[in-house]
Amino acid sequence: MSSVARDRVRELMGEVMTAQGRSLPADDGAELRTIGFRSLDFSELALRVEDELGDELNFDAPGLRRIATVGDVLDFIEQLQTA
């Protein structure tokens, strides 16, 4: 599987946030709850990454429960691409 660079995933995450009238902070430690990034937003991000990859990301709900920050999202997407 090809991969989408971490910076590009961050850009896509910013696009998802902008579409909802919010902005993505520069700090990877920003809490998702604080910035209003919800599970539906994560689903939209995953679809955008899949479109760029031309392949599906396979992930499970328990893995998603550990995600709390912007950096966690970026790490999770990065790990999925190398799995």
How much of the chain is in helix, strand and coil states, percent to nearest 5?
A: 60, 0, 35
Q: Residue 30's pLDDT is what?
A: 98
Mean pLDDT of the region 74-83: 88
- Choosing among 3.40.50.300, 3.60.15.10, 1.10.1200.10, 2.40.40.20, the CATH entry for 6-82 is 1.10.1200.10
For residues 34-47, one letter each, b for 16 or more C-beta atoms within 10 angstroms of the residue's C-beta and e for the rest, the string is ebebeeebbebbbe
Q: Residue 82's pLDDT is what?
A: 81
Query: Contact at 8 Å (CB) between 83 and 58?
Result: yes
Task: Give domain limits for the chain.
Answer: 6-82
Q: What is the pTM of this model?
A: 0.90
Cβ atoms within 10 A of the Cβ of 67, count?
Answer: 18
